[in-house]
Amino acid sequence: MIVTDEKRIQDLADNVVMRTHEVYQYDLNISNYQTILASNDGSYPAHLRALINLSDAQAVEQCPIEDLAELAELQQYTRVSVLIRSEIVERTKANSILNVIVTQLRALLPSTSDYDAAIDAAVARRG
C-alpha cells in the first residue's frame, strides 16, 4: 500500500488533535492534583505519627475510627504527590510528540490556512 500525501496529512492532523487532547487531560489532572496538595501540607499530627511507616491498609486498620477521615486525607496527599510527578513526566512526553507531529504536518502544509483546515477536518472527524 502506498501512503499518499493526503492520507499522511489526514493521519498527522488526527494525531495533532488527539495529542492536543491528551496534553489537555494531563494539564487538568495536574491542576486538580495541585489543588489537592495546596489544601494539605502532608504533615502527620502527633496522634497519627505512629501510622506513618505502615502500609495504607495497616494504617487504616490501626487508626481510631474518629481519625480515619484525617488519615485518608494524609494518605491521599502522599499518593497525589507521586501521581503529579508522573503526570508532569507524561505530559512532557506527550507535548514533545505533539510538537514533532505539528512540525511534520506544517512541513506538508506550510500555509496557515491549509494547516488550520486540516486540523478543523480532524476535529470534525473526531466528532
Does 51 map to a domain?
no
Residue 14 maps to a domain: yes
**Residue 47 forms part of a structural domain:** no
pLDDT in tens, the chain (127 residues): 688 999 999 999 999 999 999 999 999 999 999 999 999 899 999 999 999 999 999 999 999 999 999 999 999 999 999 999 999 999 999 999 999 999 999 999 999 999 999 999 999 999 8
Nine cell digits for residue 113: 490556512
What is the extent of the structural domain holding 92?
A: 5-41+56-126
In whole angstroms, how far apart are CA 98 and each of 49, 58, 93, 104?
44, 43, 9, 10
> pTM (2 decimals)?
0.83
